[in-house]
Amino acid sequence: MSGYLTGTTQVIVWPSLIEKQKREVLDATLLTVYGVWQRDGASMHLIAKRLVDHTALLGALNTLSNKIYGYFV
């Protein structure tokens, strides 16, 4: 896929994956989703195949850009 995606993307997580990766679904604050892109007309969906909890990385994120604009995430 080339170019940049803009707008909203729906991530579809099927019940079987939720059951298999329940800890990641319930506990993660920062979640990486690996999956397959699906186009439905003008809409794009990401069909989740694997979820990775990256919550531990949140402390290392650079928030300088948020401070410049006067808000914090």
Q: What is the pLDDT of residues 7-61, one digit of tens each?
A: 678 899 999 999 999 999 999 999 999 999 998 887 889 999 999 999 998 887 7
Q: Give the pLDDT score at 9.
A: 81
Question: Residue 11 forms beta bridges with which residues?
Answer: 46
Composition of the chain by helix, strand, coil, percent to 5: 30, 35, 35
Q: CB–CB of 26/13 below 8 Å?
A: no
pLDDT of residue 63: 63
Q: Which of 70, 62, 12 is nearest to 39 (CA)?
A: 12
Check residue 1 and give its pLDDT.
47
Pairing of strands 10-12, 43-53: parallel
14: left (phi over 0), alpha (psi -120 to 50) or beta: beta
Per-residue confidence (pLDDT) for residue 2, from 0 to 100:
44
Would you say residue 72 has pLDDT above 70? no
